[in-house]
Amino acid sequence: MEFVLALLVVVLVAWFVTAPLRNREPAQSDDDPAVAELADLEARKAAKYRQIRDAETDRAAGKLTEEDYRRLDHELRAEAIDILKRIDRLQQPRGE
Amino acid sequence: MPVEVHDDHAGAVQLTIFGSALLAAALLAALYAAGAGVYGGRTGDRRWVESARRAVYAMAALLTSAVVIIEIAFLRDDFGFALVADHSSTTTPTFYKLTAMWSSQEGSLLLWAWVLSLASSGVLFITRNRHREIVPWATAVLAGIGAFFVGLMIFKAQPFGHLDPAPAEGAGLTPLLRNPYMAVHPPMLYSGYVFWSIPFAFCVGALIARRLDASWIRTTRNFALCAWTFLGIGLLLGSRWSYEELGWGGYWGWDPVENAALMPWLVGTAFLHSVMVQEKRGMLKVWNVSLICGTFSLCLLGTFLVRSGVLQSIHAFGASTVGGPLLALIAVVAIGSTVLIVSRLDQLRPERRIESLLSRESIFLVNNLLLVGLAAVIFWGTFFPLISEFFTGEKHSLAAPWFNRYVTPIGVLLVLFTGIGPLLAWGRLSPSAARRLLLGPGLVALATIVVLLAVSDAGHHPWALFVFAFAAFTLAALAGEFWRAAATRRSLTGESAPRALVEAVGRNRRRYGGYIVHAGIALTLIGIAASSSFQTNRDLRLQVGQTATVGDYTIRYDKLTSDPNPERLSFVSHLSVSRDGKSIGTLAPARNYYPSDDPTAGPIGRYFMGESTSEVGLRSRAGGDLWTAFQPDLSVLNPDIKRGNDQLANLPAAAQEFAILALVQHYVQNPPPATFRVIVNPLVGWIWIGALIALAGAVMAGWPALESRQRLEAAYRARLGRELGTATESS
């Protein structure tokens, strides 16, 4: 009995694991490389926003001089804009 | 031990065979996942990557089933399972039956592999649509580690071994492990070790795929934080267990296995700080990948030390055959990651240089060097017996004074930098701002030194004095940070001070959670410094009715009682405690004796000559603990025990039990002088209070911040959107 049960488990596992290999349909929408790239960029954008906010906090706390803050903020915003532009490009419908 | 065959023995055999089959299937799934991950990574075929991910899910399901079968066997006292017979008994309390699995080599390996499979499934589910280049390789690494541990179980330490015939009674759980702290301590440590494998696997994936920006760090940050927290809880519970259960009065003995868990925690702490430098400033990339590879190697080293028997430890399983394969895995991880890092040095160049020594990144770097230096010192001290044996042929151990000599100064500097770091800004802090920010905490530190010198003998303990001063500096600096956050928000919004504080902290939980961790660590270090430098410790020999004075406390040995039960004999001493002539309570330190399985001890003697454990009598207050342990003198019973062994050997068990109870009763009514260890431990409770605060801070820092991210988006979208429009038009 235990051997039959074990065999059944192995068959079930093999069926579950190899399901993507049996699928010869075109890639799903969430399998689009752009989706993965977009998720990465969204995470980078959120991290950059946090950095901009941290710089503002440091300025308000008197840790950064106005000059240092402006330089840092400019740098961070340029990086954030670069990320936003890349997100925009990815979000534009293909063919445009 | 009498041997009988259980009626349901056939069922146990079937279940152990089925359990072994589950492990074999889990091994196949893990090997397939590793292979499919590599193939998917090399060819870019997403179907294979998806299939590999599913294989990891399958491994988790199979190992979960294996764990459930073993836990049910423990609950049912199914002694057909060798694991159950060796580590449980019918008299073991249900809670300890549930936790007995990981008191064994085999069960703890199963726990390791199971937690790894769950954590791997979690991270692979979260990243199923992200990091397309990294994930296939990370899947292969995680599955490879899983395959190693499942294989280790199958070929070296099978948890599904069965006994034929099954005994009627099990050996029971090791008495020292019948403690709630010890029941939870191993899963916490293993979870810590296992969770470090997630950032390690993604780091290896990033190195192979040459995607060496900070994205793998952001994705695995919370797993690293979980690993750090679990390992910290494990260390915390282990130290509390040592304090309450081992009867020597200490919480840290520089035991090799304790050290083995501390080292990855220290290097992991360095990693958690230095990845922030990479995220914010694009620096320390080589350092970060080296730190995570080092942290994971140290986790494996800790696993190896507990299992190999190469170093003597109260926490180790003893000599076994799993040490060799574990050492091989450590070598593969250490050499493989070094080769990988060296081959990617060109892509690991920093994006910036440190602009100023007065910056948060420079302080983080110093703090990193101190943490890694501390780990290196502990590594040397821990492995010195093997190093000395290699060079001289003799094992020489290094004791606590050696560790304290080198660890204390580094620890003191760490306390200081724990406070300085949060004060500084990324990039550059102007000298005038530095003076202004450092002045307040500096004055608090100075005042602490002056007051302590005036009211205590802290002058005789300079290192402790430095710890108190620097911890005061840190706490003042952190309080200042919270105050500035609230004041800034209040000036912008006009909110009340408490609401402004809550809002400011809530909107940047990562930063302020981290500060709470720092505050907790400072309190913990105050507890360590005070209890180790100002401890009063006395060993007393008291007759019932006698009193003794220890520190400010007067202790009277009132009486002795016994508490026999099916599991053990207990002798409980009753002490009344007074201070300045006023009674402040009672303590009841006890000594438990568990029956020995040694037949030479005799039918009566086995109840007095087995393993014994200490139940300390503890009075804990914020100002300090009064800690007492008790050791009865049972040698006066030897003639009676010998006579009982000779004369009662052939009597029924009930008659022997009656004789034992009579012997115990006689001893309790006429007890000889007993030995007590009494320790007055100032501020020792702050070690664990501080650790709990640090834990709360870590949870706060890692708590998912979906809402605040949305707020952040709303705040910056419009502003950056305008600039984006301008930038797009001009490009």
Q: Where are the domains of chain A?
A: 32-96
Of the CA atoms within 13 Å of residue B50, those in its CB half-sphere come to 15
Which of these, B337, B339, B226, B224, lies nearest to B278 by C-alpha position?
B224
Q: What is the mean pLDDT of residues B366-382?
A: 96
Share of chain B above pLDDT 90, in %: 62
Q: What is the mean pLDDT of residues B477-502?
A: 90
Interface contact flag, A50 B712, Cβ < 8 Å:
yes
pLDDT at B545 over 60: yes
Peptide bond into B165 cis (omega under 30): yes
Q: With contact defined as beta carbons under 8 Å apart, do B100 and B87 qualify? A: yes
Tell how strand B536-542 and strand B674-682 pair up.
Answer: antiparallel
Q: What is the mean pLDDT of residues B273-282?
A: 89
Of the CA atoms within 13 Å of residue B502, those in its CB half-sphere come to 5
- Measured between CB atoms, which of B51, B62, B510 is closest to A18? B51
Mutation site for A-interface testing, chosen from B709, B710, B711, B729 by largest number of A Cβ within 10 Å? B709
| pLDDT at position B164 | 83
Q: Which of B107-121, B210-224, B258-272, B448-462 is predicted with the least confidence, judged by mean pLDDT?
A: B210-224
For helices B509-533 and B497-507, what crossing angle results, to 10°?
100
pLDDT, mean over chain B? 89
Output the 3-class SS for B665-720. HHHHHCCCCEEEEEEEEECCHHHHHHHHHHHHHHHHHHCCCHHHHHHHHHHHHHHH
Query: Phi then psi for B673, rounded to 5 degrees?
Result: -55, 145
Residue B586 is encoded by which pair of tokens?
């009672």
pLDDT at B564 over 50: yes
Q: Is A87 on the interface with B (CB under 8 A)?
A: no
Question: d(Cα B407, Cα B525) in Å, to the nearest integer?
Answer: 12
Q: With contact defined as beta carbons under 8 Å apart, do B649 and B601 qualify? A: no
Q: Which of A82-86, B574-578, B674-678 is predicted with the least confidence, judged by mean pLDDT?
A: A82-86
Interface contact flag, A81 B727, Cβ < 8 Å:
yes
B728 falls in which pLDDT band (50, 70, 90)? Answer: very low
| pLDDT at position A22 | 86
Q: Which residue has the higher pLDDT, B122 or B599?
A: B122
Query: Phi then psi for B617, rounded to 5 degrees?
Result: -95, 120
pLDDT at B45 over 60: yes
> Which residue is associated with the tokens 């403690």?
B179
| pLDDT at position B7 | 52
Cβ contacts from A onto B, under 8 A: 154
Q: Which residue has the higher pLDDT, B219 or B309?
A: B219
Which of these, B508, B630, B494, B493, lies nearest to B559 by C-alpha position?
B630
Which of these, B362, B195, B421, B190, lies nearest to B292 by C-alpha position?
B195
| pLDDT at position A44 | 83
Beta-carbon contacts of B261 under 8 Å, excluding residues fewer than 6 positions away, are B189, B192, B231, B234, B235, B238, B302
Neighbours of A4 (CB within 10 A): 8
pLDDT of B603-632, one tens digit each? 888 888 888 889 999 999 999 999 999 999
Question: d(Cα B630, Cα B716) in Å, to the nearest integer?
Answer: 65
- Beta bridge partner(s), residue B613: B592
| pLDDT at position B43 | 92
Q: Is A21 on the interface with B (CB under 8 A)?
A: yes
CATH number of B1-178: 1.20.120
| pLDDT at position B321 | 77
Q: What is the mean pLDDT of residues B468-493?
A: 92
A54 falls in which pLDDT band (50, 70, 90)? Answer: confident
Interface contact flag, A80 B712, Cβ < 8 Å:
no
Smallest Cα distance from B132 to chain A, Å: 7
- Measured between CB atoms, which of B51, B218, B728 is closest to A17? B51
Which of these, B376, B354, B318, lies nearest to B426 by C-alpha position?
B354
Interface of B with A in 210-249 (CB under 8 A): 213-215, 218-219
| pLDDT at position B712 | 58
Interface contact flag, A36 B129, Cβ < 8 Å:
yes
pLDDT at B729 over 50: no
| pLDDT at position B53 | 97
Interface contact flag, B724 A88, Cβ < 8 Å:
yes
- Measured between CB atoms, which of A5, A57, A65 is closest to B18? A5
Interface of A with B in 56-75 (CB under 8 A): 57-58, 60-65, 68, 71-72
Question: d(Cα B62, Cα B524) in Å, to the nearest integer?
Answer: 41
Interface contact flag, A16 B58, Cβ < 8 Å:
yes
Which of B8-17, B63-72, B630-639 is predicted most confidently? B63-72
Which of these, B265, B276, B201, B262, lies nearest to B227 by C-alpha position?
B265
Q: Is B571 left (phi over 0), alpha (psi -120 to 50) or beta?
A: beta
- Measured between CB atoms, which of A3, A17, A80 is closest to B29? A17
pLDDT at B4 over 50: no
Q: Which of B51-65, B109-123, B221-235, B487-501 is predicted with the least confidence, judged by mean pLDDT?
A: B487-501
Share of chain B above pLDDT 70, in %: 93
- Measured between CB atoms, which of B18, B51, B724 is closest to A6? B18
pLDDT of B443-453, one tens digit each? 999 999 999 99
B25 falls in which pLDDT band (50, 70, 90)? Answer: very high
Q: Which of A9-13, B380-384, B722-726 is predicted with the least confidence, judged by mean pLDDT?
A: B722-726
Q: Is B538 on the interface with A (CB under 8 A)?
A: no
Question: d(Cα B681, Cα B250) in Å, to the nearest integer?
Answer: 10
| pLDDT at position A95 | 47
| pLDDT at position B714 | 62
> Which residue is associated with the tokens 């296939």?
B136
Q: Where are the domains of chain B?
A: 1-178, 221-335+343-398, 419-532+688-730, 544-672
B42 falls in which pLDDT band (50, 70, 90)? Answer: very high
Residue B141 is encoded by which pair of tokens?
């690494």
Question: d(Cα B731, Cα B729) in Å, to the nearest integer?
Answer: 6
